[in-house]
Amino acid sequence: MAEQKVKGWQRYHTIWVMLFIGWIVSYADRTLTGPVVTWMITNKVGFLEAASNPHALGGLLGSLFFAGYMLTQFPGGYFGDKFGYRTVVVISIFWAGITTLLTGLTGGLVAFIALRVFTGLGEGVLYSNDRSLVAEVTPPDKLGLGMGVVMGGLTVGLSAALVGTVYLIEWAQPSMGVNAWKAPFLILGTVTIIAAFFIRQALKPRGKNGSENFGKALFNLLKYALVFLVAIMAVYFITNAMHLNDVIIAIILTCLAFVLIAFIFIKKGHEVSPILRNKNLVLIYISYIAVLWHLWFYGFWGAP
């Protein structure tokens, strides 16, 4: 007897929509940095006004931000398995909203960079948990559709931030003047926090089958994030003091990733070595270099 398929709106549909919204706000938060920095350079305002080479500084900022969420991919996935994918997804979106809002309240270059890096560190864990959550709740025959719906939010967030950031700045200029660059961070940070509340409620486990370990998960993620923040900011200060070129910066940031991989092998090797040594996964990692290169080239510098 054939299994009867359940029709109508199901809980996994709600989770798809919530993750779609989560990706919109999360990717808008990370993408708006490029248009804001470009606007600052073009209009010679903000803390980039006094910079001797604002374009190089803007490029460095983008690299440091990228390094932030590059380094939390593994901790995010590891603690997602341990504390629950829902838990880490909700933490990531709240994290993005709070740090983006705080970015709009800063005025100095170092604080701006530190908060953007910290934003990336929190947003990075979304990558390693959203698809796991989709796979966990979605029927196998609808898994591809679910992934497509969820990842569509990335494109919407990217496009909205690239197109809309400058309009938000221009809208805020009459009232905020040279500080109008803060408006996108204040607005999107607030929107993201509101979205996070709705997402948290929608993803809340039902019955006794699930739990929310926000405190433990956040504590463990913060331990990694603070170490990475110190390391990345050290790269910034060294780069600034020694006037290192882009190639050297890229090598240093890549070395940080290899240090993390070495740490994983030493401390967690018995748990993750089968994954790290999987040849098919290694080929996927390599193939994504081109994808991420182009995505970030346009995502950071593709301001209108």
| CATH number listed for the domain at residues 11-301 | 1.20.1250.20
List the end-to-end C-alpha distance of the chain, in Å, as a whole number. 58
pLDDT of 50: 61
Measuring CA to CA, which residue among 36, 170, 54, 179 is closest to residue 105?
A: 179
pLDDT of 251: 83
> Per-residue pLDDT tens for 167-184?
999 999 999 988 999 999
> Per-residue pLDDT tens for 28-55?
998 898 889 888 888 877 677 666 677 7
Dist. CA 159–CA 82, nearest whole Å: 34
The residue type of 257 is A
Q: What is the SS3 assignment for 106?
A: coil
**Would the pLDDT of 269 be above 70?**
no
Given phi > 0 = left and psi -120 to 50 = alpha, else beta, which region is 44? left
pLDDT of 3: 46
pLDDT of 259: 83
What is the domain partition of the chain in residue ranges? 11-301
> Per-residue pLDDT tens for 205-239?
776 555 678 899 999 999 999 999 999 899 888 88
Residues near 38 by Cβ (< 8 Å), separated by ≥ 6? 58, 301, 303
User: How would DSSP label each residue in 145-187?
Assistant: HHHHHHHHHHHHHHHHHHHHHHHHHHHHHHHHGGGGGHHHHHH
